Chain A
Amino acid sequence: MSDLTCRELADFLLDYLEGELPAAQARTFADHLAACPACESYLDSYRRTVALERQAFADDDCDVPEELVQAILAARRA
């Protein structure tokens, strides 16, 4: 395994995913991921966490409470 630790990988994961690491460091990252199942599954669950966030707020709608409608229309006229 490379000299990168799992802790360093976890700390710089966002930079890695956003393509902000210098090429040499990105390669070290990729090498570590290929050799370390713990980090590989950490990366997978991190990505899925972000996807789940988006799904959790998709089509976010509810009925607007009638008293809020009236309050807004009254505030406009005030």
Chain B
Amino acid sequence: MTRTWQLAPLTAAGEAALVARLKRGDEAAYEELVRRYGGRLLQVARRYLREEDARDAVQDAFVSAFKAIDRFDGRAQLATWLHRIVVNASLMRLRRPAMQREESLEPLLPRFLDDGHFAAVRRPWPEDAEARLGRAETRRLVRRSIDRLPETYRTVLLLRDIEELDGAETAERLGISPGAVKVRLHRARQALRELLDPILSEGAA
């Protein structure tokens, strides 16, 4: 798909000017905001939701942003501010009761013998494993593997590791305890490690 507009990145002054136009209710400024940031926000929403819901979340996010623009004080960058709004809009569309359910991750966790040793031999990942696979392929593999995690784990992993929310904030957004956030984050990372292991340990001694 070709871009209908090629927009140059905004300088700080350009961003301030865009915000001022938004605050004045300039119709073209609304459109510019959507075209500038819509793609990025859609990619964020897609981490949490299927396509149709992701688009709805982006729409919710922009409508909230338009309404709240008068309170935007310029301390954060516009992109950061919008990012937070779309994460919130996406979480609103995730079902809260589902987040509170405990899903089993057992088949994806490392196995141990009765004496506490790893059940399978751990092959180290060669130092150049990511380089040998290639950046694009590694990226695809990691994203596909994250998609395979149960939703309750995937969401915690994304909020903590990708959006970089802290444990307390993540707990509050999901309506679960900080302890549950920590357990889920660790298990999600362990499960993801197991999913990546067959590919990344290839060629190991």
Contact = CB atoms under 8 A, between A and B. Distances in A.
A52 B4 CA distance: 33
A53 B62 contact: no
Interface in A20-78: 37-42, 44-46, 48-50, 52-57, 60-66, 68-69, 71-73, 75-76
Given A45-B197, A50-B161, A56-B143, A10 B110 contact: yes
B38 A68 contact: yes
B157 A53 contact: yes
Nearest to B204: A41
Contacts of B4: 66
Chain B interface, >50% SS class: helix
Nearest to B4: A66
B118 interface: yes
A71 B186 CA distance: 39
B200 to A, nearest CB: 7
B123 interface: yes
Contact of A57 (B3, B47, B115, B197): B47
A39 to B, nearest CB: 8
Interface residues of A, number: 39
A45 B43 CA distance: 27
Nearest to B195: A49
B39 A10 contact: no
A24 B118 CA distance: 24
A13 B188 CA distance: 13
